[in-house]
Structures are given as C-alpha cells and as structure tokens.
C-alpha cells in the first residue's frame, strides 16, 4: 500500500458557513407592537427621569419653576434612554430610541403650544362670554370700567360679516372664473395670468391694505369704511382663491372633459355640468379656507376701515369695526377689562375659524364617498367586479 501523498496546500476560496436557522448575533429591532419588556423600559425610563428631574431641580439645585423641571426631565430622559438602551441593545438601537424620543418630544412641544394658545385665549376671555349681550350689543357709551353685562361685540361681528360678504362676492366669481380660464382655455396668455397670480400670493397683507389706502382713500377720497376694508380683503384673497381653485380644477380627470365634448356638449356646458360639479368639494374647501384666512386678517383692515364703537350696517357710510380690529385695539388698551373683552372676542373669532375649518373638512370629505350611481352604473358595476375577480 502506498500512502498517498497529501496534495500541496491549495489556496481555496473561503466559504463562510452560514447557519440560516441560528438566531442573529444581535436581536433585530422589532417593528411591530412593543413587547411588554420594551414598554416597561420606556415608561420606566421616563418616570425615573421625572423623579430625578424633580429631585435635581426642586431639591438640589436652585432651579425652581416648572420650566426647568420640564427641561431637566427631557435631558435626563434622553440620558436614561441611552443607559437603558445600552443594557439591551447596540449603539444603533440606542440611536434609534434617542431619535424616537427627540421626534416625539418635538411633536409634543408643538401640540403643547397649540393647546396653550387656545386654552389661554379661552381661559382669559370666558367671563364676558357668559353674557348674551356680549354677542348682541355694541360698545357705544360703554366705558372701559363697565361690567360685562353692558356692551358687546355685536357691531364687530356684523362688520366682519359685511366686509367678508362683499369680499366673497367679489373674489368668488373672479377667482373661480380665472381658474376656469387658466385650466380650460389655456394658451400663452393663461400662462402669463397664472404666473402673475402666483406671484401676487406673495403680497404681504399689510401691503395690500396700504395699496387700497393709497388708491381708494388718499387718492380718490373715499372715506374709511367697510367697503374699503372689503376691497383690501379682496385684493388679498383673490390670488389665494384663484390659485387654490386652479390647483383643484387641474386635477379633474381629462377623460371627463373629453367624454363631455365627444358627446357634443359645448365648452361652456362641459365646464358648468362636468368640470365644476366634479371639483365642487375641492372648490368649496379652497373658498372656505380663503375665507378663514380673510376673517382673521387684521393688517389690511387696520389701514382701511377705521374703528367704530357703534353698530354700522352701511359699508359705504363711514368707519366700521370688525372682529380682528376690535381684538387688536382691545389688546393694546391699558384697561384690564378691555383686554378681557378682547380675549373674549378672540375666543369668538377662534370658534368662527374652527367652525369654518370643520365645514371645509366635511365638504372635502364628501369627495371620498362615491356619488349615487346611475341606473346604468348600478347595472354595470357587478359585471365590472366579476371581471376583476
């Protein structure tokens, strides 16, 4: 028997042995619901951080006050997250947890700011709201020290309604008409109009007010009035509504237009019976949001309407008050009662904006619910579904 000589060592390709069934070297980060251990670590970390923050700021260091407590809570929470993170994971897991904590904290800060804004305004202004006369009466003959059962913001509410009504009557047809022109007619001229309208959305509202003040009040000699204020609001709202309506009309499917035109409808009836009804929820949302922006704008009104303490219903007659202007004047007043009334008016304005906003949401939501199908559609739909399945 000849012993076979061992072959000379050949460099072979190294093939790592991978055991696909073995557990990974480090546990993979979970993406689903946190396990009970993870939630315990998370809650425990932040409770411990709060306790430590209280101890540090309120007992050990001269940093009294809740602001320092919150800051210390956050800083210690991040620190404890790092520590507990290294107990169970690697650096990557720690970074993930810290990033999650920072992002959540940022969102919480924004939420707290929003809640504090609304809560503060309502908290400072709830008392006058309990009196019905606050919504109905005007401020004529009411002194700054009079009790809240005298006087109110009826004149400001009426003034705001009249000014906005005029502004809507001007901007709605013009804004939607321009959007129809830009999307349905098109051409080079429409491109120019679109460019200019988009550029004018950058116009600061105070400059819109100053323009109307210079042209209408100083040059023409028109008195400071609700009409002038309405013009200033229109100048501000027109580009906003036109641009928003343009965006809404552009997403109307072209097939609908072509179907209508192919059936022999004229351009106008296509727009009136097909394009505008399809875009109605979007248009309503655009208009309502434009109105919500207009109702709270103070600066154009400040320059053009003047301040009245009494009820004015004629927009061309003379000075007229409005809600934002009433709030502004009240907030600058040295009298605490005036400031409180301003906060109450701000609450009313806030509720008004909120109501407009909710209406806009409800109108916009209708888009998702399909319109009631026609008889033809109802007959066809099942076959269509069968084809899919």
Does 116 sit near other proteins (CB under 8 A)?
Answer: yes
Does 121 sit near other proteins (CB under 8 A)?
Answer: yes
Position among 174, 247, 276, 284 found at the interface with other proteins (CB under 8 A) = 174
Residue among 189 and 313 whose Cβ is closer to other proteins: 189
Residues touching other proteins, count (CB under 8 A): 94
Does 95 sit near other proteins (CB under 8 A)?
Answer: yes
Does 134 sit near other proteins (CB under 8 A)?
Answer: no
Cα–Cα distance for residue pair 97/356, rounded to 1 Å: 40
Cα–Cα distance for residue pair 250/23, rounded to 1 Å: 54
Q: Which of 107, 78, 74, 76 is nearest to 95 (CA)?
A: 78
Interface stretch with other proteins, choices 78-86, 156-164, 173-181, 380-388 (CB under 8 A): 173-181
- With beta carbons less than 8 A apart as the criterion, state whether 294 and 324 touch: no
Residue among 61 and 379 whose Cβ is closer to other proteins: 61
Q: Dihedral angle at the C-alpha atoms of 217, 222, 227, 229, nearest 10 degrees?
A: 10
Residues 6 or more apart from 366 whose CB is under 8 A from it? 281
Q: How far is the CB of 362 from other proteins (least distance, A)?
A: 11
Position among 75, 169, 192, 351 found at the interface with other proteins (CB under 8 A) = 192
Among positions 244-273, residues that touch other proteins (CB under 8 A) are 266-268, 271
Cα–Cα distance for residue pair 341/331, rounded to 1 Å: 9
Residue among 152 and 324 whose Cβ is closer to other proteins: 324
Q: How far is the CB of 351 from other proteins (least distance, A)?
A: 11
- With beta carbons less than 8 A apart as the criterion, state whether 231 and 304 touch: yes
Residues 6 or more apart from 276 whose CB is under 8 A from it? 176, 180, 283
Does 239 sit near other proteins (CB under 8 A)?
Answer: yes
Among positions 35-64, residues that touch other proteins (CB under 8 A) are none
Does 92 sit near other proteins (CB under 8 A)?
Answer: yes
Structure tokens at 364: 């916009």
């Amino acid at each position: 028997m000849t012993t076979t000589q061992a072959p000379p060592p050949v460099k072979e390709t190294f093939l790592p042995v991978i055991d696909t069934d073995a557990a990974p070297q480090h546990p993979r980060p979970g993406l689903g619901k946190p396990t009970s251990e993870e939630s315990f670590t998370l809650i425990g970390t932040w409770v411990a951080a709060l306790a430590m923050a209280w101890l540090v700021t309120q007992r050990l260091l001269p940093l009294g006050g809740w602001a320092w407590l919150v800051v210390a809570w956050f800083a210690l929470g991040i620190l404890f997250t790092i520590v507990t993170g290294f107990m169970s994971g690697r650096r990557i897991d720690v970074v993930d947890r810290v990033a999650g904590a920072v992002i959540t904290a940022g969102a919480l800060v924004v939420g707290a700011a929003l809640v504090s804004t609304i809560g503060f305004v309502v908290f400072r202004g709830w008392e006058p709201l309990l009196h019905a006369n606050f919504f109905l009466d005007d401020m004529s003959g009411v002194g700054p020290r009079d009790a809240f059962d005298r006087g109110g913001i009826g004149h400001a509410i009426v003034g705001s309604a009249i000014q906005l009504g005029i502004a809507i009557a001007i901007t709605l047809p013009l804004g939607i008409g321009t959007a129809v022109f830009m999307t349905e007619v098109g051409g080079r001229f429409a491109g120019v109009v679109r460019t200019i309208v988009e550029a004018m959305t950058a116009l600061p509202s105070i400059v819109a007010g100053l323009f109307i003040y210079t042209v209408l009040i100083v040059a023409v000699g028109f008195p400071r009035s609700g009409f002038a204020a309405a013009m200033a609001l229109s100048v501000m709202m027109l580009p906003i509504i036109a641009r928003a309506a343009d965006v809404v009309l552009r997403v109307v499917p072209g097939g609908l237009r072509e179907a209508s035109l192919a059936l022999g409808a004229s351009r106008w009836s296509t727009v009136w019976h097909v394009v505008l009804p399809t875009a109605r929820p979007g248009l309503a949302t655009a208009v309502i949001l434009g109105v919500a922006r207009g109702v709270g704008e103070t600066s154009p009104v400040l320059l053009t309407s003047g301040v009245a303490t009494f009820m004015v219903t004629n927009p061309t007659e003379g000075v007229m008050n409005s809600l934002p202007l009433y709030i502004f004047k009240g907030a600058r007043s040295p009298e605490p009662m005036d400031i409180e009334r301003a906060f109450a008016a701000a609450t009313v304005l806030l509720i008004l904006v909120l109501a407009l906003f909710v209406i806009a949401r409800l109108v916009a939501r209708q888009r998702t619910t399909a319109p009631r199908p026609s008889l033809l559609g109802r007959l066809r739909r099942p076959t269509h579904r069968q084809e899919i399945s």
